[in-house]
Every structure is written in structure tokens, then in C-alpha cells.
Amino acid sequence: MYQSIRPGQVWLDTEGKRIQAHGGSILTVDDTFYWYGENKEKTTGSFDIWHWGVRCYSSKDLYNWKDEGVIIPPDTEDKNSPLHPSAMMDRPHIVFNQRTGKYVAWLKIMGEPPCFAVLEADQILGPYTMVNPRVNPCGMAVGDFDIAVAPEDGKAYLFSERPHVTIYCADLNPDYTDATGMYTEHFPHIAPPASREAPAHFMRNGLHYLITSGTSGYHPNPSEVAVSELWHEPWRVQGNPHVNDNSRTSFNSQITSVFKHPFKKDLYIALADRWMPDLREKEGPAFDTGEAYEKFAQRFEKIFAPDSDFVFSPEDAKEMFINSSISDYVWLPLRFEGDQVRIDWKDELKVEDYE
């Protein structure tokens, strides 16, 4: 049994198997934590299996996780299904709708064209039924996203990347199954790697926070925190929260969500994927100085510059398909200086150390 969280180390479930909950989040039901995410057990770098459904784990202590199985299975029969293993399903987000009593799951589907798929269930572990297989909120393109529910009135909001351009905030309908048409756009950028993705929303002391990453494929990059008083207000950018991260890789991780511990006074944990555990080994000393990231970022600038004539080669395309079945996790607590967010590296995290 685990007695703590050890960021960046291999994490096994209670059966001794690698945990497969990437791009994931935690939902608390009564006194049980449910961690769900992309099941990458079969995603070894080939072109035909991007995911194997959404897998969920349960825990009482955040350390030891029981495999509850694949709660949203892949559709292996229909190649046109948004749940087909090749459909590039990413970053599932599940929220509970107090009004309908339903658990609502949104999935990012990077098909042609990209869209969201929305499912519902009566229980967190399913079974889930497809209710809206193709959603483009307000007619917008879709990308990495998060969904948050306002504690005061139960209204839900979607934060999504409009790929390589902005992050938009869209109001969801009362059932949380589609957008209403109201949205605002934020963080305008011309192109990667500066454009923002992977938005992770949380609230603290009446303020809204959004942590995003840059856009550089699976190669990690500097995170950025922004704060706002209201859902649709302009966001004030605070900068990179990772302290003493000379590698400029957010400690070789990409944050997927921020978990507020419901039974602790002020414990917020950034949940992140370490997509490439061997990156430091591959890049050598240049990783720790940030030179490796700078070189990679410059390459992305050339590729996605508005006047670029870059043509993707087969080798470039292969970079999209890593062996994510062996990707690890980096969970680190947030530290606050006033309204400023800080993330320090810790070799070990114990929930018991917090009030």
C-alpha cells in the first residue's frame, strides 16, 4: 500500500497494474474519490489505437486506487463512431447535474471535423448513454477543455481551446448537454507554441483561476496562470506558476485539472500527465537548462507561423503517436501568495500534512 503521492514515479493500482487515467480529473461522491481519464493501456505508438475508452478508479485516501473498469468503452465496430479507438478521444470531463440527477461526460473527439461527444449516466460508474455525439459549441472549433459548475446556482461553463487561436468560455444549457450560444474569447495568440491549451479551472476565495499550457505537442512547456473575478471577465495573466523550473517544462508535465480536496481547508492539487517519462534522459543536460525546450519551441514557431511553407513529413506525424501506455503522473499542491499561484516540486505529497 502507498502511504503518500510520489510525483513522477510509476503509480500502480491495488492490483499492481499501471494506472490508466490520463488527461483526467477527480470527482468526489460522498466519501469516495473517483479518478477517471483516458485509458491508454493499448496506446503504444501505433496509428490505429489512440485510446481504449475511459477508465475509472476509486480511493478513500488519494494514494491507493482500485480499478473500477472501463466506464465508457471504445466502440471497436463502427469506425465512424466518436468512441472508435482511432478517433483521438481526449480529456474526458464528468460533472454531476444536481437538477437532473445525471452524471454528464464530455469527451474531446479530434476527428474530421473535431467536436465534443456528450454522454449521461445515473451513476458515476455508468453505464453511460450517448445523448449528443457531435457538439461544436456556438459553432466553434474544439480542443482541450474543462467544465466547471458554479456553486451558487449550478450553472455550468465550458472552457475550450479554439485551436491555436484563443480559449473560449461558453455557457452550457441546464442539462449540461450543449452550449446556449453565449461565449467570450480570451488569450488571443497567432500560433503555437504561444497559443494556450489544456485549460484547468478552479475557484478560490471568490476568484476564478485558469491554468493553461502552451502548444507544443507532447513535448512539455511552461504553464501559465490567469485570474478573473467573473466567468466571462478579462483574465489577468500571472505567468508561470512552477517555481525554479529551469527546464521550462512545468517539471516535465502538463496539467489536466485542479482538484480541490473537499475535506481540507485549503488544499488544491494540480493533476498532471508526464507524457514522456524518459525526456530528461533523451535530451541530456539541455533538458535541465531549458535549451532543449527553446529549440523545440523555435521549431514549432517555424511550423505554425502564418507565412510558413513547412510540410509535415512522416517523421513529424509520428511525433503525435507516442507510447503513452507508460506515461506517468505528476500531482503537486498549489501554494498561494495572496492571489498568486505557486507550484513547488515535491518528491512526496502527504494529504495528512494539510489542515
Q: Give per-residue pLDDT as tens, 276-317.
A: 999 999 999 999 999 999 999 998 888 888 887 777 666 666
The average pLDDT across 78-82 equals 92
Q: Which residues pair with residue 149 across a beta bridge?
A: 156
- Residue 326: closest CA among 18, 69, 9, 70: 18
Neighbour tally for 58: CB within 10 Å: 18
Q: Read off the C-alpha cell for 15.
A: 492490483
Tens of pLDDT, residue by residue over 146-159, are: 999 999 999 999 99
Q: Which contiguous run of DSSP H or E holds residue 298?
A: helix 291-304
3-state secondary structure of 201: strand
- pLDDT tens-place string over residues 159-184: 999 999 999 999 999 999 999 999 99
Strand partners, 236: 227
Percent residues over pLDDT 70 in the chain: 98
Listed in sequence order, the residues at least 6 apart from 33 whose beta carbon sits closer than 8 Å to its beta carbon are 26, 27, 58, 59, 60, 62
Q: Do 162 and 185 form a contact (C-beta atoms < 8 A)?
A: yes
Q: Give, as one character, the DSSP assignment of residue 331.
A: E
Q: Could you give the count of Cα atoms lying within 13 Å of 12 in the half-sphere of its Cβ?
A: 6
pLDDT at residue 320 greater than cutoff 90? no
Choose among 202, 222, 177: nearest CA to 339: 202
At 9 the pLDDT is 98
pLDDT, tens only, 21-54: 999 999 999 999 999 999 999 999 877 899 999 9
The DSSP symbol for 283 reads H
248-279 confidence digits (pLDDT tens): 999 999 999 999 999 999 999 999 999 999 99
338 DSSP assignment: T
Is residue 79 within 8 Å of residue 85, measured between CB atoms?
no
Cell digits of residue 195? 497559443
For residue 189, pLDDT beyond 70: yes
Backbone angles phi, psi at 316, to 5 degrees: -65, -40
User: Once rounded to an integer, what is the mean pLDDT over residues 204-214?
Assistant: 97
Are the CB atoms for 314 and 301 separated by under 8 Å?
Answer: no
Average pLDDT score, the chain: 95
The x, y and z cell numbers of residue 337, run together, are 501568495
CB 98 within 8 A of CB 119: no
